[in-house]
Chains A and B, each alone.
Chain A
Amino acid sequence: MGSLQLLPPTASAHAADMDWLFAALLGTSAFILLLVFGLMILFCVRYRKNSKVERGNRLGRTWRVEVAWTTATFIAFLGLYFWGAGLYVDIHSPPKDATDIYVVGKQWMWKIEHPGGQREIDTLHVPVGRPVRLVLTSEDVIHDFAIPAFRIRQDALPGRYETLWFTPTEVGDYRLFCAEFCGTWHARMGGSVVVMEPSDFQRWLDSQDQGPSLAQEGEALFRSYGCSGCHGDAGTVHAPRLEGLFGRPVPLEDGRTVIADDRYIRDSILMPKAEIAAGYPPIMPSFVGQIGEDDLLKLVAYIKSLAGRTADTTQAGSVERPAQ
Chain B
Amino acid sequence: MTTATVTGKPDEPVVATRNYLTEGGVTLRSWLLTRDHKRIAILYTLSITFFFFVGGAAATLIRLNLVTPPGIFTPDIYNRLFTLHGVIMVWFFLIPSIPNTMGNFLIPLMIGAKDLAFPRLNLLSWYLYVGAGLLALFAILIGGVDTGWTFYTPFSSLYSNGYVVLALAAVLAVGFSSILTGLNFIVTTHRMRAPGMTWYRLPVFVWSNYATSVIMVLATPVLAITLILVAAERLLKVGIFDPALGGDPLLFQHLFWFYSHPAVYIMILPGFGVISEIVPCFARKPLFGYRFVVWSSIAISIIGFFVWAHHMFVAGISLYAGLVFSLLSYVIAVPSAIKVFNWTATLHKGWISFDAPMLYALGFIGLFTIGGLTGLFVANLAFDVHVTDTYFVVAHFHYIMVGGMVSAYFGGLHYWWPKVTGRLYPEWWARIAALLIFFGFNLTFFPQFILGYLGMERRYYSYPPEFQAWNILSSAGASVLAAGYALPFFYLGWSLFRGKRAGSNPWAATGLEWQTSSPPPTHNFDRTPTVTRPPYQYRPEPEPQDV
**Docked CA distance A148–B283 (Å):** 46
Contact B315 A155 (CB under 8 A): yes
Q: Could you say which residues of chain A place their CB within 8 Å of the CB of B75?
A: 184-188
**Docked CA distance A266–B464 (Å):** 37
Q: A80-B376, A107-B159 are in contact. Are A33 and B370 (CB under 8 A)?
A: yes
A8, A158, A188: the one contacting B455 at CB < 8 Å is A8
B242, B347, B466: the one contacting A44 at CB < 8 Å is B347
**Docked CA distance A179–B330 (Å):** 25
| Closest-CB distance, B459 to chain A (whole angstroms) | 4
Contact A88 B385 (CB under 8 A): yes
Contact B314 A153 (CB under 8 A): yes
**Docked CA distance A6–B362 (Å):** 29
Q: A2-B467, A81-B380, A181-B148 are in contact. Are A70 and B338 (CB under 8 A)?
A: yes
Binds A, one of B19-27, B49-57, B350-358, B402-410: B350-358
Say if the beta carbon of B327 comes within 8 Å of chain A: yes
B314, B377, B467: the one contacting A144 at CB < 8 Å is B314
Q: Could you say which residues of chain A place their CB within 8 Å of the CB of B159?
A: 107, 140-141, 183
Contact B345 A21 (CB under 8 A): no
Contact A77 B334 (CB under 8 A): yes
Say if the beta carbon of B494 comes within 8 Å of chain A: no
Q: Could you say which residues of chain A place their CB within 8 Å of the CB of B374?
A: 29
Binds B, one of A54-62, A109-117, A204-212, A248-256: A54-62
B155, B333, B353, B461: the one contacting A187 at CB < 8 Å is B461
Q: Could you say which residues of chain B place their CB within 8 Å of the CB of A182?
A: 155
Give A15's nearest chain B residue, CB to CB: B386
Say if the beta carbon of B146 comes within 8 Å of chain A: yes
Binds B, one of A34-42, A97-105, A122-130: A34-42
Contact A88 B323 (CB under 8 A): yes
B283, B316, B331: the one contacting A160 at CB < 8 Å is B316
Contact A153 B388 (CB under 8 A): yes
Contact B249 A33 (CB under 8 A): no
Q: A3-B469, A43-B352 are in contact. Are A36 and B454 (CB under 8 A)?
A: no
- The total of chain B residues at the interface (CB under 8 A) is 92
Q: A39-B344, A44-B347 are in contact. Are A1 and B468 (CB under 8 A)?
A: yes
Say if the beta carbon of B525 comes within 8 Å of chain A: no
**Docked CA distance A74–B540 (Å):** 34
Contact A29 B373 (CB under 8 A): yes
Contact B454 A7 (CB under 8 A): yes
Q: A66-B338, A77-B334 are in contact. Are A89 and B319 (CB under 8 A)?
A: yes
Contact B347 A47 (CB under 8 A): yes
Q: Could you say which residues of chain A place their CB within 8 Å of the CB of B427?
A: none
Q: Could you say which residues of chain B place their CB within 8 Å of the CB of A257?
A: none
Q: A21-B382, A84-B383 are in contact. Are A177 and B457 (CB under 8 A)?
A: yes
**Docked CA distance A269–B50 (Å):** 54
Contact A184 B390 (CB under 8 A): no
Contact A66 B292 (CB under 8 A): yes
Contact A181 B465 (CB under 8 A): no
Contact B244 A159 (CB under 8 A): yes
Contact A55 B457 (CB under 8 A): no
| Closest-CB distance, A294 to chain B (whole angstroms) | 15
Contact B155 A177 (CB under 8 A): no
Q: Could you say which residues of chain B place their CB within 8 Å of the CB of A179?
A: 388-390, 457-458
Query: Could you mark each residue 270-291 of chain B with 1 if its beta carbon is under 8 Å from any beta carbon of chain A, else 0?
Result: 0000000000000111001100
Contact B352 A48 (CB under 8 A): yes
Q: Could you say which residues of chain B place their CB within 8 Å of the CB of A296?
A: none
Query: Could you mark each residue 144-156 of chain A with 1 if its beta carbon is under 8 Å from any beta carbon of chain B, else 0?
Result: 1010110111110
Say if the beta carbon of B12 comes within 8 Å of chain A: no
| Closest-CB distance, A277 to chain B (whole angstroms) | 22
Say if the beta carbon of B526 comes within 8 Å of chain A: no
B154, B316, B382, B459: the one contacting A181 at CB < 8 Å is B459
Q: Could you say which residues of chain B place their CB within 8 Å of the CB of A73?
A: 333-334, 337
Contact A151 B540 (CB under 8 A): no
Say if the beta carbon of B220 comes within 8 Å of chain A: no
**Docked CA distance A188–B74 (Å):** 12
* In the A-B complex, the 4 residue pairs with the closest CB atoms: A159-B243, A148-B455, A87-B382, A88-B381
Other CB < 8 Å A-B pairs besides A84-B384, A85-B327, 10 of them?
Answer: A4-B469, A66-B342, A73-B337, A78-B330, A81-B380, A85-B381, A88-B322, A140-B154, A140-B159, A152-B385
A interface residues, Cβ below 8 angstroms from B: 1-8, 17-18, 21-22, 25, 28-29, 32-33, 36-37, 39-40, 43-44, 47-49, 55, 58-59, 62-63, 65-66, 69-70, 73-74, 77-78, 80-81, 83-92, 107, 140-142, 144, 146, 148-149, 151-155, 157-160, 162, 175, 177-188, 289
List 16 A-B pairs, Cβ < 8 Å. A48-B351, A49-B541, A58-B348, A63-B289, A69-B338, A69-B341, A89-B319, A144-B314, A153-B386, A153-B389, A155-B315, A178-B457, A182-B155, A185-B75, A187-B460, A188-B75
B interface residues, Cβ below 8 angstroms from A: 75-76, 79, 146-148, 152, 154-155, 159-160, 242-244, 248-250, 283-285, 288-289, 292, 313-316, 319, 322-323, 326-327, 330-331, 333-334, 337-338, 340-342, 344-345, 347-354, 362, 365-366, 369-370, 373-374, 376-377, 379-386, 388-390, 450, 453-455, 457-470, 472, 540-541
